[in-house]
Amino acid sequence: MITALPLEQPGRWRTVGLMLIVLVAMSPAVPLLSQVPGMTPEILTGTFGSALINSLKIATMVALVGLFVGWPAGVLAACYEFCGRRVLLAAASLPLLVPSILWAIGWSALLPGGRTMEIPPLAGCVVVFATAAVPLVLIVTYLAARGLSGSQIDAARLAGGERCVVQLVSRHAVVPASIAAGLGAVMTLSDPGPAQIFGLRSGAAEILISFSALYDFSLAARQCLALTAVALVVATPLALFGGPRIARGMLARQVHSMHPLREPAMAGVTSVVLVVIILVGVILPLSGLIRPLADGQALMRAWPVVRRTAGDTVLYASGAGAFAIALGFLLALIIGRQERLRVVALGVILAVFALPPAMMALGFVYLGADAPAWADPVLRSRLSVCLVSGFRFLPVAAMIGMWSLGSASSSWAMVAGLHGVPMGTYLRRVLWPFLLPSALLGWMLIGLLATADIGTVLLLHPPGAGSLPLAIFTVMANAPESLVAALCMIYLAFAALLVAGIWTVAGRQRG
């Protein structure tokens, strides 16, 4: 009989398990490595080279905007109590969980004449991508600041007042905020939507053109590998320097957690900052989507499209979330409380998260092109979309799992081991009920993130099995403006309901 004691003890099996899961997560991208011998320096010149430079410019500016807006906003939101805290934070986080093309469509309809050619393409892409980067930095900063103990905050307040508190919390959260800003910038490298809407050549858009329009798989694969190399160059320092910092934060345990202070002046400043973020990131592009709906018939015309794509959209979201949570929580269980292994694992999964989703999707396409018919259920079906999306967001699930598992008491497994409780019984009756709220939270979060990833669905979905965001992406150039706006508003309504559910579950879990 195997007891629960090994869950709290070191062992070589943990390192082996970590390596196996990482290899499984990277397996869809392995077929593209066959294109490496064909890589030439010319791939970085010409049209794709200029597109890659545009992507780097956008990523740099998005990182700066995300850091210098989201970092102070997250510090203020963590330190001070203000009216409507949960509602404002949920509204501010909405752009992070919605496809970027929705905001790009809203901005293009809002600005003069509603014609995208009048919007500076580079500025338009930066604004759209920054609406997602700012909430990412804000939420990460907020969570990092809330990790401080109440005694630390009280000591800083006694020593130097509110100014000292803000300085301490800002210094504590600057590393996680910088990592989040860097990841937000890396994510822009692999998103083709806004660049196509605003008429700007980007690396991700060129890959889609090479594969979907020119049917040149070899060129698309080489371009994808070049984009991957650029993303890894940016993400590797984040993984090396950010992994230890995040691991220490996950392992910390606070007996007396910090509580936001009720300070009217600072509460007013915090509310104004969040309202401005919501105004620029949500309300203004939303008003651009609402304007074409004045005739009142657009929603009725959009409903058949929603009904046709709803089933597949839910299937892709729930399947990707379930697969990522299962693998991510297994990875967290394998890593356990070993600090050094946590540092290595966090560095690896941060680097994996920086990989462009097109890399794994093109790998699946490459395998499916020559695979026998019996492999269709895995390589040429809806399941392939769920698998690749699950691999894509495995790092998010693993971080949720490590944070949740780290908050459990190590004495539980020890007591179970002393009383001879079998491993299966301990997992089923003690650990899994404790992890279930976090698993549900992660499932909803990853479902939204996977739905917002249009590139994976575009490359892998079977004929006639597209998602709602993909339907918006494919019809936005030819369909009436009112129909596109109606589809966007319907998706935003469902996304807002799920975001509200995520914040509700998170608030109850923290309580």
Instruction: Identify whether residues 376 and 355 lie together within a single domain.
Output: yes
Instruction: Identify whether residues 396 and 491 lie together within a single domain.
Output: yes
Instruction: Identify whether residues 19 and 63 lie together within a single domain.
Output: no
Assess whether pLDDT exceeds 60 at residue 256.
no
Residue 219 lies in a domain: yes
**331 to 16, 21, 447: CA distances (angstroms):** 11, 7, 19
Q: Which of the two residues, 222 and 331, has the higher pLDDT score?
A: 331
**CATH number of the domain where residue 108 is located:** 1.10.3720.10
Instruction: Identify whether residues 271 and 176 lie together within a single domain.
Output: yes
Assess whether pLDDT exceeds 70 at residue 41.
no
Residue 46 lies in a domain: no
Instruction: Identify whether residues 368 and 323 lie together within a single domain.
Output: yes
Q: What is the DSSP string of 342-399?
A: HHHHHHHHHHHHTS-HHHHHHHHHHHHHH--GGGHHHHSSHHHHHHHHHHHTHHHHHH
End position of a domain, from candidates 288, 304, 330? 288
Residue 307 token pair: 């009904």
Residue 42 lies in a domain: no
Residue 45 lies in a domain: no
Predicted confidence (pLDDT) per residue in 333-349, tens digit:
888 877 778 778 877 88
Instruction: Identify whether residues 83 and 5 lie together within a single domain.
Output: no
Instruction: Identify whether residues 267 and 121 lie together within a single domain.
Output: yes
Residue 430 lies in a domain: yes
- Report residue 74: phi and psi, to 5°: -65, -40
Q: How far is CA 355 from the centre of its chain?
A: 12
Question: Rounded to the nearest 10 degrees, how much is the dihedral formed by the CA atoms of 230, 227, 63, 361?
Answer: -130
Q: The domain containing residue 2 runs over which residues?
A: 1-30+296-511
pLDDT classification of 508: cutoffs 50, 70, 90: low
Instruction: Identify whether residues 492 and 356 lie together within a single domain.
Output: yes
Instruction: Identify whether residues 120 and 258 lie together within a single domain.
Output: yes
Assess whether pLDDT exceeds 90 at residue 145.
no
* Coil/strand/helix, residue 261: strand
Instruction: Identify whether residues 375 and 480 lie together within a single domain.
Output: yes
Instruction: Identify whether residues 24 and 160 lie together within a single domain.
Output: no
Predicted confidence (pLDDT) per residue in 372-396, tens digit:
888 888 888 889 999 999 988 988 8
Residue 63 lies in a domain: yes
The pLDDT value given to residue 358: 80
End position of a domain, from candidates 243, 268, 288? 288
Residue with tokens 């809203």: 106
Three-state secondary structure of 87-136: HHHHHHHHHHHCCHHHHHHHHHHHCHHHCHHHCCHHHHHHHHHHHHHHHH
Residue 191 lies in a domain: yes
End position of a domain, from candidates 288, 309, 335? 288
The pLDDT value given to residue 185: 87
Q: What is the DSSP string of 52-89?
A: HHHHHHHHHHHHHHHHHHHHHHHHHHHHB--TTHHHHH
Predicted confidence (pLDDT) per residue in 97-144, tens digit:
888 888 888 888 777 544 444 678 888 889 999 998 999 999 888 888
Number of domains present in the structure of the chain? 2
Rounded Cα distance between 254 and 139, Å, is: 20
Residue 468 lies in a domain: yes
Instruction: Identify whether residues 329 and 377 lie together within a single domain.
Output: yes
Residue with tokens 């970027």: 100
Rounded Cα distance between 384 and 387, Å, is: 5
